[in-house]
């Protein structure tokens, strides 16, 4: 549900600057990316499709590999790339980096598209009344990449190496020792071309040889010691089927994808910093050869998101799913975006988080409570309120029949949202028996306890003042019923209702109209802040108490809750009707986040 539209501020608040914004503003001021740049490149349809028809100022891209579900770290990159494009009047491409057919799947492609849409972002642009759509996949460019590889061979910049993978690894050297040239390094272009075509035509076994860029085996940057750029892999690709049995390496494919799409600012995480020289080397060679036009895209690196109490690696998240540590990619404890969504996160909360953490060039850890705080803040201003009793025990008002009449029910009401009167009021009954939370009664109260104990008066929120008289217990001493008497003429909202002063107010639900609900109390998935730091076995710190399922009673207004609706259960926290299991027949609510940050307390 949305809050009534407030008047928008006259000018949107300025976004805090960061190093990427400064680079972009500088480039725009210098006119670095000119009409010529947008004019397309010789003979390539994809290039024209992506860039020729519109004068975007900047072009960014979000390039996921479709080998898993997106997580909160990806959300940082998504909000950054799409957000910069939006703020500078450009466009952001969604591009699937699908160069690794064994690990990728259409299921992931579809889920990623769905997730980016859900976050409220899209890859459409409109300039001068002409709209365009910018959804791409690396496999669209396999033909171009193949031609680029042949060009590099012919120009003496690449060779086919028949050393084994192990030999290549050993001969690459390390930080202390330069690499050793492959015995195949000085084959002629004609020989290399013949071999490469044999690779393409299926003439060699998987792994028998690779195509390598010919750069510098003594480079201090190991990424420039003749990196592999094409490999033989007989695998069916989800988009190109069995057309290819050779596939480009990611480091070769990625710069080409950026260039073909006229990306201006290619933003990636810091671990790719050492790859930037190869990115530039490759694009410089292809520009020299006339396959691409200048200026080519530039790569800029920013710090990845490290969030405490979760893991953000697709491999590790997949392990949690396949080892049944959680109930799927969308388990509400997962830091996947589908998991966060099912937990009750909204796109606004995730965008607020991305903005709040900012973007820098140095790695750091963000505390999980920062993410939770963003959810709390966005739900506080919008979520309807409701009363719920999570650990119900019956309260009997022993003088009810005498004061109100036998079997009588009295009508109470409360605002749907305390600050949004336009949302109206909700109503519910009160009667002789109501459900209260077990922890709201103490026979002998500890210091500072102002709720129910014999002789004390409290207010049933939105209802009457009552005075506790005691409790009945079973043989084991467990409270069966709490007893109290109604104090007449104290109903909230009636004249003189506050004549009786009380220190405690408790929430409740009438036995007559409360509805049963399953409530899933989620907690952090790991007990350690950095579950996988320093190569630790992350499964060892799984929180055994990350899910507790309870039977609660909730107020009748929640009978109309639809899957995905969010509420504040007063005094308890924010809850969401489960997207999958909640229905008209069975209410299921997930704890999204508590009212206060209480982790570790
Ligand atoms: P994982 O390590 O989970 O497999 P990945 O980096 O391999 O993630 P990609 O699909 O290649 O996953 O990522 C797409 C984009 O998301 C990349 O540009 C990558 O830099 C970015 N990204 C991934 N993880 C994070 C993170 N934790 N913080 C910021 N950006 C991230
Ligand atoms: Mg990656």
Q: pLDDT (tens digit, 9 = 90+) per residue, 74-113?
A: 999 999 999 999 999 889 999 999 999 999 899 999 999 9
Grade residue 597 by pLDDT with cuts at 50, 70 and 90: confident
Grade residue 39 by pLDDT with cuts at 50, 70 and 90: very low
Grade residue 12 by pLDDT with cuts at 50, 70 and 90: low
User: Which pLDDT value is given to residue 129?
Assistant: 77
**Which of 222-226, 355-359, 376-380, 493-497 is least confident?**
493-497
Residue recorded with tokens 């036998």:
406
User: Which pLDDT value is given to residue 134?
Assistant: 94
Q: pLDDT for 430-478, tens place per residue?
A: 999 999 999 999 999 999 999 999 999 999 999 999 999 999 999 999 9
Closest residue to atom 4 of ligand 1, CA basis? 314
Grade residue 13 by pLDDT with cuts at 50, 70 and 90: low
What's the Cα-to-Cα distance from 306 to each of 344, 346, 400, 531, rounded to whole Å? 21, 20, 57, 11
User: Which pLDDT value is given to residue 278?
Assistant: 98
Instruction: Please give the number of the atom of ligand 1 that sits closest to the Cα of 78.
Output: 16
Q: Which domains does the chain have, with CATH numbers?
A: 19-135+251-345 (3.40.50.620), 143-248 (3.90.800.10), 388-507 (2.40.240.10)
User: Which pLDDT value is given to residue 10?
Assistant: 47
Residue 458, CA atoms < 13 Å, CB-side half-sphere: 24
What's the Cα-to-Cα distance from 148 to each of 229, 249, 304, 318, 557, rounded to whole Å? 11, 13, 31, 35, 64
Residue 269 near ligand 1, beta carbon < 6 Å: yes
Q: pLDDT for 546-571, tens place per residue?
A: 999 999 999 999 999 999 999 999 99
From the list 332, 328, 359, the residue with the least C-alpha distance to 345 is 332
Please check the confidence at residue 50 and state whether its pLDDT lies above 70: no
Closest residue to atom 25 of ligand 1, CA basis? 73
Residue 81 near ligand 1, beta carbon < 6 Å: no
Residue 76 near ligand 1, beta carbon < 6 Å: yes
User: Which pLDDT value is given to residue 55?
Assistant: 52
Chain-wide mean pLDDT for the chain? Answer: 93
Please check the confidence at residue 56 and state whether its pLDDT lies above 60: no
288, 347 contact by CB (below 8 A)? no
- Residue 390 has phi, psi (to 5 degrees) of -85, -30
Grade residue 204 by pLDDT with cuts at 50, 70 and 90: very high
User: Which pLDDT value is given to residue 8?
Assistant: 41
Closest residue to atom 2 of ligand 1, CA basis? 313
Instruction: Please give the number of the atom of ligand 1 that sits closest to the Cα of 64.
Output: 10
Grade residue 498 by pLDDT with cuts at 50, 70 and 90: confident
Helix extents (H) in 358-471: 368-380, 400-404
Alpha carbon of residue 51 to chain centroid:
29
Cα gap 242→235, rounded to integer Å:
7
Cα gap 583→562, rounded to integer Å:
7
Cα gap 548→567, rounded to integer Å:
19
Catalytic positions are: 65, 304, 314
Residue 392 near ligand 1, beta carbon < 6 Å: no
User: Which pLDDT value is given to residue 11?
Assistant: 52
User: Which pLDDT value is given to residue 600?
Assistant: 57
From the list 42, 71, 28, 13, the residue with the least C-alpha distance to 314 is 71
Grade residue 34 by pLDDT with cuts at 50, 70 and 90: low
Cα gap 407→514, rounded to integer Å:
16
Give kind and range of the element (H or E) at residue 458.
Answer: strand 457-460
Cα gap 502→417, rounded to integer Å:
24
Please check the confidence at residue 51 and state whether its pLDDT lies above 80: no
Grade residue 7 by pLDDT with cuts at 50, 70 and 90: very low
User: Which pLDDT value is given to residue 295?
Assistant: 87
Please check the confidence at residue 409 and state whether its pLDDT lies above 90: yes
Cα gap 343→338, rounded to integer Å:
9
**Which of 53-62, 411-420, 445-454, 516-525 is least confident?**
53-62
Instruction: Please give the number of the atom of ligand 1 that sits closest to the Cα of 272.
Output: 20
Residue 74 near ligand 1, beta carbon < 6 Å: yes
* pTM recorded for the entire structure: 0.92
Average pLDDT over residues 424-428: 98
Grade residue 153 by pLDDT with cuts at 50, 70 and 90: very high
Closest residue to atom 9 of ligand 1, CA basis? 64
């Amino acid at each position: 549900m949305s809050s009534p539209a407030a008047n928008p501020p006259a000018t949107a608040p300025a976004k805090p600057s960061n190093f990427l914004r400064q680079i972009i503003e500088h480039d725009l001021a210098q006119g670095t990316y000119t009409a010529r740049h947008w004019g397309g490149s010789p003979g390539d349809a994809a290039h024209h499709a992506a860039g020729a028809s519109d004068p975007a100022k900047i072009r960014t891209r979000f390039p996921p590999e479709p080998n898993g579900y997106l997580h909160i770290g990806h959300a940082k990159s998504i909000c950054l790339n799409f957000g910069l494009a939006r703020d500078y009047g450009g466009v952001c491409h969604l591009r699937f980096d699908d160069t690794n057919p064994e690990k990728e799947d259409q299921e992931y492609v579809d889920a990623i598209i769905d997730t980016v849409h859900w976050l409220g972002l899209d890859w459409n642009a409109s300039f001068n009344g002409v709209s365009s759509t910018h959804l791409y996949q690396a496999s669209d460019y396999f033909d171009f990449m193949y031609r680029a590889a042949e060009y590099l061979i012919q120009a003496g910049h690449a060779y086919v190496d028949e050393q084994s993978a192990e030999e290549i690894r050993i001969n690459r050297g390390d930080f202390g020792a330069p690499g050793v040239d492959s015995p195949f390094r000085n084959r002629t272009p004609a020989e290399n071309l013949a071999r490469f075509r044999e690779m393409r035509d299926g003439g060699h076994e998987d792994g028998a040889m690779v195509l390598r860029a010919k750069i510098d085996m003594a480079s201090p940057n190991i990424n420039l010691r003749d990196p592999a750029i094409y490999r033989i892999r007989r695998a069916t690709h989800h988009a190109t089927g069995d057309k290819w049995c050779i596939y480009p390496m990611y480091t070769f494919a990625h710069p080409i994808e950026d260039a073909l799409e006229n990306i201006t600012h290619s933003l990636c995480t810091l671990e790719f910093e050492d790859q930037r020289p190869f990115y530039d080397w490759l694009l410089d060679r292809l520009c020299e050869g006339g396959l691409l036009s200048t200026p080519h895209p530039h790569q800029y690196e920013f710090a990845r998101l490290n969030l405490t109490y979760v893991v953000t690696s697709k491999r590790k998240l997949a392990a949690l799913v396949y080892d049944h540590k959680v109930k799927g990619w969308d388990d509400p404890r997962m830091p996947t975006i589908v998991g966060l969504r099912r937990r009750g996160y909204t796109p606004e909360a995730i965008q607020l988080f991305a903005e709040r953490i900012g973007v820098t060039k140095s790695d750091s850890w963000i505390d999980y409570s920062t993410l939770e705080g963003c959810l709390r803040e966005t739900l506080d201003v919008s979520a309807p309120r409701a009363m719920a009793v999570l650990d119900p025990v019956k309260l009997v008002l022993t003088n009810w029949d005498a004061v109100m009449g036998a079997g009588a029910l009295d009508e109470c009401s409360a605002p749907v949202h305390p600050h949004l009167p336009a949302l109206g009021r909700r109503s519910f009954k009160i009667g002789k028996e109501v459900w209260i939370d077990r922890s709201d009664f103490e026979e002998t109260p500890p210091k500072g306890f102002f709720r129910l104990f014999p002789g004390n008066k409290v207010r049933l929120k939105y209802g009457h003042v009552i005075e506790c008289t005691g409790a009945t217990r079973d043989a084991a001493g467990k409270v069966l019923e709490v007893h109290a008497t109604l104090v007449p003429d104290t109903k909230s909202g009636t004249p003189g209702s506050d004549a009786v002063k009380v220190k405690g107010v408790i929430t409740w639900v009438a036995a007559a109209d409360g509805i049963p609900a399953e409530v899933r109390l989620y907690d952090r998935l790991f007990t350690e802040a950095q579950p996988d730091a320093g190569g630790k076995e992350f499964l060892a710190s799984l929180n055994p108490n990350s899910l507790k399922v309870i039977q609660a009673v909730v107020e009748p207004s929640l009978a109309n809750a639809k899957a995905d609706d969010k509420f504040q259960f007063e005094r308890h926290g924010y809850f969401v009707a489960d997207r999958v299991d909640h229905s008209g027949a069975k209410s299921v609510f997930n704890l999204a986040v508590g009212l206060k940050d209480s982790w570790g307390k």
